[in-house]
Amino acid sequence: MGKRKTIQDFRQMKQSGEKVTWITSYDYHMARMANEVGINMILVGDSVGMTVYGYPGTLPVTMDQIIPHTEAVRRGAPDVFVVGDLPFGAYHANVEDAVMNSVRFYKECDVDAVKLEGGKRVTPQIRAIADGGMLVIGHIGITPQSSAVMGGFKAQGNTAEAAKILLDDAVAIEEAGAAMLLVEGVPAETGKIITEALSIPVMGIGAGINTDGQLMIVSDMLGLFETFTPKFVKKYANLANEIRIALQQYINEVHEGKFPTSEYCYKMKTGEADKLKAMMMKS
């Protein structure tokens, strides 16, 4: 635990080389644990669509769906910098939507920043949100909301030409007033070049070790999400297995009459059961 970090803290960390730690979270309990161990940032990502709701992708997620998750995370993590992720459709039509939905995150969930996906094409939205006095984080590289256009979740910025396009996007995002940038699924070399080119903090998920900080999807790193595992995911635990073992043991113990033993049972005061039996005999 500790004091909630500010954007100024993250800028200083970029200068000093101290790495920022960032995970996703979608519920109170995970957020509380992240708060306890001193994670710097939490993203309430639209990955909630896949990790919690079982959708095949992030596109169905709505503002009304992600808001309660963000509120719960804020309650669990009062000392962590919380980021609300603008879902597909929440900022695509115009800058007014982008501002209004960012305002919703701030007013209803007390977030510290919002995030949106895309390069130069979303700079008007970034500028409008920043002009509204809110912190906004850009997101380039693999951008799951446009995975259909990208042909799936494929690494981006692999060639000099592709990396240059990403770099130009990154510079445009900084110039539009973004407070931070997230780069996803690019070679480590591309991650390093973008990080060094920008004065704002650059976070990476699958962007190598040289970014100013790392983001991991909590369900991936804890081994809870088993549908697929991107190359850049390190599993720090295998909770899905632990859960299956626990559930199987519960089933076995109930079937075998081993659960609940007396330590898990409430007990009547001495004599009350006999008294009840006598009352039942009379009636």
Catalytic entry in 174, 184, 256, 263: 184
How many C-beta atoms lie closer than 10 Å to residue 133's C-beta? 9
Positive or negative, the CA dihedral 179, 231, 190, 141 is negative
Residue nearest to ligand KIV (CB): 45
| Residue among 46 and 112 whose Cβ is closer to ligand KIV | 46
Q: Provide the minimum distance between the beta carbon of 266 and ligand KIV in the complex, in angstroms, as a whole number.
A: 43
User: How many angstroms from the chain centroid is the CA of residue 37?
Assistant: 16
CB 129 within 8 A of CB 159: no
Note if 184 is an active site residue: yes
Torsion 134-61-217-228 (CA) sign: negative
Helix, strand, coil share of the chain (percent; to 5): 45, 15, 40
Closer residue to ligand KIV in complex, CB, 187/225: 225
For the bound state, the minimum distance from the C-beta of residue 9 to ligand KIV, rounded and expressed in Å, comes to 21
The least CB distance from residue 143 to ligand KIV, in Å, is 8
As a whole number of Å, the end-to-end CA separation of the chain is 61
Residue whose CB is less far from ligand KIV, 169 or 265: 169
The answer to whether 177 and 184 are in contact (CB under 8 A) is no
Task: By CB under 6 A, name the binding residues for ligand KIV.
Answer: 24, 43, 45-47, 85, 144, 182, 184, 205, 215, 217
- Give the DSSP per-residue string, 188-257: HHHHHHHHHH-SS-EEEESS-TTSSEEEE-HHHHTT---S---TT---S--HHHHHHHHHHHHHHHHHTT
**72 or 182: whose CB is closer to ligand KIV?**
182
Q: Based on CB atoms, which residue is closest to ligand KIV, 188 or 257?
A: 188
Pick between residue 137 and residue 193 the one whose CB is nearest to ligand KIV: 137
Cα angle value 180/27/3 (rounded, 5°): 50
Question: In the complex, what is the shortest distance from the CB of residue 42 to ligand KIV, in angstroms, rounded to a whole number?
Answer: 10
Shortest Å distance, C-beta 91 to ligand KIV: 13
- Closest contact distance (angstroms) between CB of 116 and ligand KIV is 10
Residue whose C-alpha is closest to residue 194's, from 43, 143, 125, 184 = 184
Cite the active site residues.
Answer: 184
